[in-house]
Amino acid sequence: MEDVVYTARGTPNIALIKYWGKRDEGLILPKNSSISLTLDGNAETVVGKAFKLYTTTSVVFSHKINADFIYIDGELQDLSNKAVRDRFAIIDILRGIAKTNAHAMVVSKNSFPTASGLASSASGIATLAYIASNALDLKLSERELSILARRGSGSACRSIMGGIVKWEKGEAKDGSDSFARQLYTHDYWPELLDLIAIVSEDKKKVASRAGMAQTVATSDLYRKRLEIVDGYAAQLEKAIEKKDMDVMAEIIMKESNSMHAVMLDTSPPIMYLNDISREIINAVHEINTASGKRICAYTFDAGPSPHIITTEHEKERIVDRLLKVEGLQSLLLTKMGKGPEMLQESDALIDKSFAPMLK
Amino acid sequence: MEDVVYTARGTPNIALIKYWGKRDEGLILPKNSSISLTLDGNAETVVGKAFKLYTTTSVVFSHKINADFIYIDGELQDLSNKAVRDRFAIIDILRGIAKTNAHAMVVSKNSFPTASGLASSASGIATLAYIASNALDLKLSERELSILARRGSGSACRSIMGGIVKWEKGEAKDGSDSFARQLYTHDYWPELLDLIAIVSEDKKKVASRAGMAQTVATSDLYRKRLEIVDGYAAQLEKAIEKKDMDVMAEIIMKESNSMHAVMLDTSPPIMYLNDISREIINAVHEINTASGKRICAYTFDAGPSPHIITTEHEKERIVDRLLKVEGLQSLLLTKMGKGPEMLQESDALIDKSFAPMLK
């Protein structure tokens, strides 16, 4: 099983019920369950710089390599740094399962810019878990893969499968019941769209990992969020079952606002939404009010760029309105995707002599 | 007692524990107690357009007038509009107490621009309650005056007296125990300063009255705020007693953020803080971090312009930092004031023939 380069690609997901706060920092166990759409990497650029939403990762395990090497977007990762090592602990875990001490070379690249506000860690870690376990021929289940990905980056566990995915928070201390499961495949609701409106990032960005720990430690309102957010998830599941965009949009926006509210209630406050974000929020509410029902919803991860969830039928009017927003850097259109997939040998980012190739 | 023009001036207050949400819309009874500083109208302009923080109001009750006339900043108010009439219901209440059916002429002007983000309703209604009860020679207590002012605009009840004021939420259905009382006179803490940083308002502003009703109706986090905010008030009272700026600043900022968090958790969200507000928030946290203790605090009412509470000793470094903020329209410096006061006949805004004079 060794000495062969394996390559796969995966994609980010957008949470409709957000993950914000851990009950276990080491095992990355969340305070609440979350629900997301795994995105189709083959996004269409409506305006701005064209890019796709893939992370492509090649892995080889070999005794011919004298250490682990991990390259992300051309940069060699510093594995002497504990935080970086923790992030890639899944390689050690997999080596343990496979009972091998072969070193790994990992080469990964994102087809989207880092400053795009698209969380690269979810697609990166999910793709790594997927391809590394394949490289070691471990035949892990999706559930096992999602637990593995969770250990690298919480939300990565939801990018292990396509379609609509729920990360069950679980109750067990060891995290064995904290995994993602697919609620619906990517073709369940073909009309469902995600318009990603990329707006300028602020220079100073609070990292999610530090930010959520700060919220758990200091926000009084956060405790209330924890009491209600699983209720939002249950309502969202029902709305998805009925394909009821009106109710779905209500919950998505409420839940995103609730997360950003507890961020603001953190000491010191965490503020990701900027003036452009606020303009888009107001525009979405105006469109919905004018329509007499909710036909679209915004949702913001830990950044100022919203994902606008809507349906094919309403696409044009929403795009028209978004294009009027000053300060919009690019607008991407995508839908639900299938999750990670194996690529051909010709797509490998590592050549046969185990040298990184950055195509 | 009739036919004499009486004139007084009052000032706004800045809440350190905010009022947001009513338990009785008609009587204007709040969901939580609040604490504020009544400001000294004689503000110093550090930068930008110079203005003071006074509302000056003249009142005359006379049988020679054939209807009520209320002018604010030169504009005749439309008393055929129920919302406007409700706002000035205190005139009817006072007439009832005084057993007179004389009509009133009221002329009021604010020495600060409407777009300054300084709530004119608090100083306006407080000054009106104060001067109209004097004009009718009613000898009301401060408590009675504050209940009266509350009926016109909730936060106005806190501008009836100077210094540090607490509006007790009360429990009674008729509002008889929901009044403001002075915790400390204006000279209790002479070093205490308020730097008002006026930043551009957004064009669309949600009125506080409608906004807070929307929060009560739709925000799930708001219920948690109500559980904790009286605790913040108790902590603030203790910090004020000890003149402990470090703890005081912590609570002031936490509480302001908590209010803006539940505003954001409202459907649709209410967002007053803009990019300039956020820059100032970050600057204040930076100053405090660099100082090793909290030496200043921001607090935002229903608008993007912060009041920075600090002490004389720290003034310069904070002013220096605030002057670096792009988009700052003006910076005012004030301290605690004495509350409403009677003015001379020569300051009257109504002439002897009962014609409005707008000096």
From the first residue on, what is the mean pLDDT of each consecutive set of 10 residues in chain A (359 residues)? 87 97 96 98 94 96 94 94 90 96 96 75 95 96 97 96 98 97 98 95 76 96 97 98 98 98 98 96 97 97 95 96 93 97 96 85
Q: Are the beta carbons of B271 and A278 separated by less than 8 Å?
A: yes
CB neighbour class for A301 (10 Å; exposed up to 12, middle 13-18, buried from 19):
buried
Q: Which of these, A247, A232, A239, A234, lies nearest to A189 by C-alpha position?
A: A239
- The distance from CA B116 to its chain's CA centroid, rounded to whole angstroms, is 13
The phi and psi torsions of A335 (rounded to 5 degrees) equal -140, -165
CB-based contact B261 A265, cutoff 8 Å: yes
* Count of CB atoms situated within 10 Å of the CB of B185: 14
Q: Under an 8 A CB cutoff, do B271 and A260 touch?
A: no
- Check if A254 contacts B (Cβ < 8 Å): yes
| Residue B298 DSSP one-character state | E
What does the pLDDT read at residue B121? 87
Q: Which of A14, A271, A257, A273 is nearest to A118 (CA)?
A: A14
Q: Cα(B226)–Cα(B210) distance, rounded to whole angstroms?
A: 19
- Main-chain phi, psi angles of B103, to 5 degrees: -80, 160
The pLDDT value given to residue B358: 73
Chain B residues touching A304 at Cβ < 8 A: none
> Among A221, A250, A278, whose Cβ lies nearest the Cβ of B224?
A221
Question: What local confidence, expressed as pLDDT, does residue B65 receive?
Answer: 92
Instruction: For chain A, say whether B238 makes contact (Cβ under 8 Å).
Output: no
- Any CB–CB contact under 8 A between A223 and chain B? yes
Q: Do B257 and A278 touch (CB under 8 A)?
A: no
Supply the pLDDT for residue A204.
61
Which residues, including other chains, have CB under 8 Å from residue B330's CB and lie 6 or more apart?
Answer: B45, B46, B47, B48, B49, B116, B198
Question: Would an 8 Å CB–CB cutoff place B295 in contact with chain A?
Answer: no
Interface check for B42 against chain A (CB to CB < 8 A): the answer is: no
- The burial class, CB within 10 Å (0-12 / 13-18 / 19+), for A143 is middle
Of A252, A216, A217, nearest to A15 by C-alpha is A252
All domains of chain B, ordered by start, with CATH? 6-347 (3.30.230.10)
Q: Do B221 and A262 touch (CB under 8 A)?
A: yes
Residue numbers of A between 172 and 211 with CB closer than 8 Å to B = 204
Gap between the Cα atoms of B338 and B243, Å rounded: 19
Neighbours of B144 (CB within 10 A): 16
- A267: nearest CB among B225, B254, B262: B254
CA distance to partner chain B, nearest, from residue A105 (Å): 41
Q: Does B234 touch chain A (CB under 8 A)?
A: no
Cβ-contact A128, A108 below 8 angstroms: yes
Of residues B250, B257, B268, nearest to A264 (C-beta)? B257
Task: Give the mutation candidate from B222, B257, B294 for the A interface (greatest A CB count, under 10 A).
Answer: B257
Say how far apart CA B331 and CA A146 lie, in whole Å: 54
Residues of chain A contacting B286 with CB distance shorter than 8 Å: none
Q: Which residue of A204, A214, A221, A226 to mutate against B (max B Cβ within 10 Å)?
A: A221
For residue B221, give the nearest of A261, A271, A273 by CB distance: A261
B186 min Cα distance to partner chain A (Å): 30
Shortest alpha-carbon distance between residue B83 and chain A (Å): 25
What is the distance between the alpha carbons of residues A248 and B129, in angstroms, rounded to a whole number? 49
Res A103: pLDDT: 96
CA distance A298 to chain B (A): 12
Nearest CA distance, A108 vs chain B (angstrom): 35
What's residue A209's pLDDT? Answer: 87
Q: Which helix (H) or strand (E) holds A21?
A: none
Model's pTM, two decimal places? 0.95
Helix (H, G, I), strand (E, B) or coil at A162: coil
Chain B residues with CB-CB distance to A282 below 8 A: 204, 268
Chain A partners of B250 at a C-beta cutoff of 8 Å?
267
Termini Cα distance of chain B: 25
Q: Which strands make up the sheet holding B34-38, listed edge to edge?
A: B13-17, B34-38, B164-167, B180-184
Say if residues B319 and B195 touch (Cβ distance below 8 Å): yes
pLDDT in tens, chain B (359 residues): 558 999 999 999 999 999 999 999 999 999 999 999 999 999 999 999 889 999 999 999 999 999 999 999 999 999 999 988 988 999 999 999 999 999 999 999 999 887 666 777 899 999 999 999 999 999 999 999 999 999 999 999 999 999 999 999 999 999 999 999 999 999 999 999 999 999 987 666 788 889 999 999 999 999 999 999 999 999 999 999 999 999 999 999 999 999 999 999 999 999 999 999 999 999 999 999 999 999 999 999 999 999 999 999 999 999 999 999 998 999 999 999 999 999 999 999 999 888 998 76
ipTM for the assembly: 0.93
Contact: B257, A269; criterion CB under 8 Å: yes
Note the pLDDT of residue A107. Answer: 97
Nearest to B275 among A253, A268, A274 (CB): A274
